[in-house]
Structure 1
């Protein structure tokens, strides 16, 4: 790899340091160890750290005055449990760098640190605020208030989640993400001796599966999937309880509200069965508004000036950008190109990564 740009070996070394600290969302201490490494690097770049409630850390670079800062979103947690490195070791094979959490999204953290270093202390007006959160992979419950507060005070948001896997395009929109649990409470009885005295929770759940999935409108981006169903206690007992777990994806706020309202209005056909519904839309749709599209156009212009083309796509998966897009122009997918998020072949494309770091550097300098 003699053709590597001069900054790539340092980026690889920094990424290795983060990846080899396994940091599943379920282990706050491990996530904090990743944050400690990032904080040390941020301090070297004159970043001012701040520990926020719930485990989020913020770093300010050149902030001050009346101008609002640029906000960059990152997360330190991964989906991978401890011990994954034994079967998915950090390694380079040709132009691909493999390892748990490389693509999603520790390479994004490394990329923004190198982009900030490339500014050489010449911060954009208003400066840069970097948020490093501990719980993105599990819904961002603790970090969401900090993300939304920072977005309200920012003039633009950059999310360094990875770009689209196949096309390496930026993400100019994301579907909203919802999850629901429907629990049916029936009446148990002996299935052979007195079935008429029972009320089957499973029968009502089965009816609801078809009713719920009929709410989908895939032609406009709304998908509804019953991903898990469980219930019953024994084969010879009329089941007194059954639960459905539902995944909702919606491209617009209106569609998210339509499906949510319909799910909450479900009524069992058997009056002896009671239904409780929990959950809702936990990430609002990231609709590509004018501010986001203007950021994307600027990114395309910069990329062409750097010698490559960049596309923009709306995707189904959620990120913390879903929280900021309704509040502030947001451009997502500014992390490292690659593939395999949450999969055994997770990797970063080393031949493309430096170009995307240069793009992020220019955006931080020019937006």
Structure 2
């Protein structure tokens, strides 16, 4: 006799509670291996650790492929065939996406306070990358394990682990796009927004601005020089005024360097500019207005590399039924609601959404502090988040129909 949805959901939730300490142990195992986006040896070790952990929990995959990342971390796909429906026509196929790289430089772990008290009396676990997004990785692996244990028919599941998300998914983007198009549904294991899934994200631009001036002796002939630093400073101030927060557009110059010596009028300077937009129209406006900026010294040449990295993400028609399904699973598991929200950050979900494919992002950790010292998770939320993903997998043995 088949258990009712409510009974099956209760069993899954109870099991997630029982194994929660083991899931947390796996989270901390991943966190203790530092994986800075710029540390290729650390990324290689971290990916192998992640692969071994997946195999320990789920067995050897039916298909495995590693895509070299070049100057970025490699991308790994591990596919586990569905149960009860086979893997042919009519069987569901779910892609679980998660990045294993972090923004934190190697060495950040030393001296990091792991257990942090909170004002609300709840335990917090902290560590570089624990919130963004190593908790999501561990929860995703355990979600499939728990879904298997439930005995429900399951879709084929492909894990995609990439090591360059924090620097724009420069090598992994084509792999993500190709793999997502072969799947019926994509779930991105990025952290939640205080428990809410993310159905809209801003598009991002990673612009490099170069100023080329004229070097001269700062004491003997300063008038002969044209300072690239001064000109680029003017540009940065003007660029900040192009931002339009009321339209969802922000502009942040996060890196600035230049010059060769303190007593030399700078001949070269560069700036790294982070741009976030909510629409393609804003992309066009920003491009045009940045190109129109003039600096006071005409001898300095300003060059802008307009590198739009991720398109804006919205809740497309294909994703709406997936959100409805996730909410239904959440209700069956005893949640009052499963809110969704729009956020300023971008993720690999942007690449999937713009293709018109069904995708939900923010299926991972509950906590806060992404990219900030002391990022943390609430370990008491790990069972519910794991059970949610497991429950969704259990409902996707057949392709989702919108």
Shorter-chain TM-score tier: 0.7 to 0.9
**Cα distance between partner residues in 2 of 1:158 and 1:301:** 16
1:141 is paired with a residue whose SS is coil
Shift of the alpha carbon at 1:46?
5.1
Q: Is 1:70 paired with 2:107?
A: no
Task: Summarize the alignment of residues 1-367 of structure 1 with structure 2, pairs less than 5 Å apart.
Answer: 5-25=17-37, 26=39, 27-41=42-56, 43-44=58-59, 47-54=62-69, 55-62=74-81, 64-67=87-90, 69-88=93-112, 90-91=114-115, 95-120=123-148, 122-125=152-155, 127-164=156-193, 167-190=194-217, 194-233=221-260, 237-308=264-335, 309-327=337-355, 328-367=357-396
**Cα distance between partner residues in 2 of 1:135 and 1:311:** 29
2:363 is paired with a residue whose SS is coil
TM, length-normalised to structure 2? 0.81
**Cα distance between partner residues in 1 of 2:22 and 2:268:** 56
**Cα distance between partner residues in 1 of 2:102 and 2:268:** 34
Tell me, yes or no, if the aligned pair for 1:252 and 1:287 is still in contact at 8 Å: no
TM, length-normalised to structure 1? 0.88
Tell me, yes or no, if the aligned pair for 2:57 and 2:145 is still in contact at 8 Å: no
Tell me, yes or no, if the aligned pair for 2:197 and 2:360 is still in contact at 8 Å: yes
Shift of the alpha carbon at 1:234?
5.3
Shift of the alpha carbon at 1:267?
4.8
Shift of the alpha carbon at 1:218?
0.7
Of the structure 1 ranges 146-155 and 190-199, higher mean CA displacement relative to structure 2 is found in 190-199
**Cα distance between partner residues in 1 of 2:217 and 2:115:** 59
Shift of the alpha carbon at 1:163?
0.3
Aligned pairs, how many? 362
For the structure 1 residues 274 and 333, does the alpha-carbon distance in structure 2 shift closer, same or farther, using more than 3 Å as the test?
A: same
**Cα distance between partner residues in 1 of 2:393 and 2:240:** 43
For the structure 1 residues 58 and 183, does the alpha-carbon distance in structure 2 shift closer, same or farther, using more than 3 Å as the test?
A: same
For the structure 1 residues 201 and 304, does the alpha-carbon distance in structure 2 shift closer, same or farther, using more than 3 Å as the test?
A: same
**Cα distance between partner residues in 1 of 2:275 and 2:201:** 13
Tell me, yes or no, if the aligned pair for 1:232 and 1:240 is still in contact at 8 Å: yes
Q: CA RMSD in A?
A: 2.7
Shift of the alpha carbon at 1:105?
1.5
Shift of the alpha carbon at 1:355?
1.2
**Cα distance between partner residues in 2 of 1:233 and 1:113:** 50
**Cα distance between partner residues in 2 of 1:200 and 1:46:** 58
**Cα distance between partner residues in 2 of 1:196 and 1:85:** 49
For the structure 1 residues 122 and 142, does the alpha-carbon distance in structure 2 shift closer, same or farther, using more than 3 Å as the test?
A: farther
Tell me, yes or no, if the aligned pair for 2:61 and 2:78 is still in contact at 8 Å: no
2:303 is paired with a residue whose SS is strand
